[in-house]
Amino acid sequence: MDPESKRFMWSAIKKYKKNSAIILTTHSMDEAESLADNLIIMKSGHFVTNGNINYIKNKYSSGIYIDIMLKNRNIDTLKE
């Protein structure tokens, strides 16, 4: 979806969700977090879990881990 259409859809969803149940499918956690009050996660066509964004993040978010291996272990070179 182009950025202008996306902004339009986000505005419409935010406007009408107060008095409605809206089902939105997305792979974007940012989009889900911005638009949804409650989330359902599906895997292979089955509901795996549901809850608010904080519950989902606490249950499934493990953060990002990066391993860096350096050839030169000189701390001054690393700082540069």
Q: In this predicted structure, what is the pLDDT of residue 46?
A: 93
Alpha-carbon span 25 to 69, nearest angstrom: 39
CA distances from 37 to 12, 17, 44, 57 (A): 15, 9, 23, 13
* Regions of the chain with pLDDT less than 70: 63, 72, 78
Q: In this predicted structure, what is the pLDDT of residue 11?
A: 93
Q: Are 11 and 5 in contact (CB under 8 A)?
A: no
Residue 63's contacts (CB-CB under 8 Å, 6 or more residues apart) are none
Q: Closest by alpha carbon to 34, among 7, 55, 58, 59? A: 7
Q: In this predicted structure, what is the pLDDT of residue 20?
A: 86
Q: In this predicted structure, what is the pLDDT of residue 35?
A: 92
